[in-house]
A and B are shown apart, each in its own frame.
Chain A
Amino acid sequence: MEAIKTEKLVKKYKDKTAVKGLELTVYQGELYGLLGVNGAGKSTTIKMLSCLTQPTSGEAWVMGRSIKNEAEQVKAIMNVSPQETAVAAKLSVRENLEFIARIYGCNKKESKEKARKMIEDFSMEEIAKCRAATLSGGWQRRLSIAMALITQPDVLFLDEPTLGLDVLARRELWKYIEELKGKMTIILTTHYLEEAESLCDRIGIMARGALCAEGTAEELKTKANTNDFEEAFITIAGENTK
């Protein structure tokens, strides 16, 4: 089943077209990597699919629900971990998690239980009572991702999830994302190409607001006639950015 489908999706900002007629299909349970150089249209695409901004034209469906006409239903079944760390500064780690669980409809008992589970899964026991503002950048990012996962969304958008994390924390997060595979549909944007290659079932490369290539990491390497994924990305993205 299709988890995400876009049809001629366009987003214009005044005289600039950020996304040009995007045709994208992501299947349920898939971990789909969306790659592209800066300004390729990845973030705008995610913003439209997560109902943060309305498309100028075209349509998209998340789990069969229109992002234009059924935004409220779409918001209830998906969650986002934005590129910027997105935590409430004066709330503790536990309070942040419980807060998100509750605005997505959990009762007090459920939200406490889910927060406890996320704290355990993300090894945040020692900082559970600390206010988010006092945490290091790495811990804040980890909390931000846990806040996106606590609602157990059908579709999860991870926008540059490992940005600013050290190597160990990044690898730990990769492990966690791997474990989520098949349990939910994940759209991952990243500039770390090894991350996309290692984690994603399929990868789409965007350039100038459109999808210019799509496939598994191996298929993209074959397409670019190289054994190195970074080379493949440079070849495909470079050709389409000229």
Chain B
Amino acid sequence: MRTITFASRNTKEITRDILTLIFGIAFPLILLLLLSAINKAIPRGYGPTNFQIQYLAPGITVFGLSFLSLFSSMLIAKDRTTGFVLRLFTSPLRPSEFILGYTMPMIPIALTQSTVCYLCALFLGLPFSANLLAAVAVNIPIAIVFIALGLMFGSVLSEKAVGGICGALLTNLSAWFSNIWFDTSMVGGAFETVSNILPFSHAVKAAQAAAAGDFGAIFPELWWVVAYAVVLTAAAVAVFAVKLKKN
């Protein structure tokens, strides 16, 4: 009950900041529109495969979720800068309830963001299919990865610093190693190895497989992302608990 109450408060804090919310949902759409336009301008057969709508749309939905890190880190960092955090820290809320309470409101945002992205992709030529519902659901683990990363950074860094780390560095890293913009196997070597170790490219491949209805190909990739989601959420709880004690 305490977790839901706290989550409800956080939902209000996020949804009452309309500009940030619109930016979070609109930015991936703008990217999708721009890249589709570029792809259409390239003569057929010469453009990169990654930019074809059936690959691009799932990729952009995953990339769009990287903004959840910014949302979650800003929320927690902002709370930490005010006296309100003292009130929360002296309340009976446990570290796990804090992290869950910060995570829960982000899930509907993630689902909305992915749904809006796929709806837009339909107008850009993505064939309509029920598989797209599965593709939206498959994005939940990577959404949790981004949220947990944001909560970890937001627990230790200032509001200004998380803007740089989550808003710039993390979104760039997730873009480079995700296979969305280019095939990392073309770079090869350590770059490809790092890309395979990190969860981003696996999330993109799982989303692409789900959108294509190739369900057998989802799970080897998704397990990788689920493992990251579990470990990073546990790490976020641990970091928050340490922060709470060291206050």
- A residues near B (Cβ < 8 Å) are 47, 50-54, 72, 75-76, 78-80, 82-91, 95, 99-100, 102-105, 131, 144, 147-148
Contacts and interface: CB of A to CB of B under 8 A. Distances in A.
A144 B17 contact: no
A15 B76 CA distance: 30
A102 B246 CA distance: 26
B189 interface: no
Nearest to A148: B87
Interface residues on B, range: 20 to 34
Contacts of B5: 99, 102-103
B12 A103 contact: no
Contacts of B43: none
Contacts, number: 77
14 contacts: A54-B245, A75-B90, A76-B92, A78-B90, A88-B13, A88-B84, A89-B82, A91-B13, A95-B9, A100-B91, A103-B6, A103-B93, A144-B87, A148-B87
Given A87-B83, A102-B5, A105-B2, 10 more contacts: A52-B90, A76-B92, A86-B83, A88-B13, A95-B12, A102-B1, A103-B6, A103-B92, A103-B93, A105-B1
A52 B247 contact: yes
B247 A80 contact: no
Interface string B89-100: 111111000000
Contacts of A78: 90
B12 A91 contact: yes
Interface of B is mostly: helix
A87 B9 CA distance: 12
Interface in B222-247: 245-247
B89 A103 contact: no
Nearest to A99: B9
Interface string B4-45: 011011001100110000000000000000000000000000
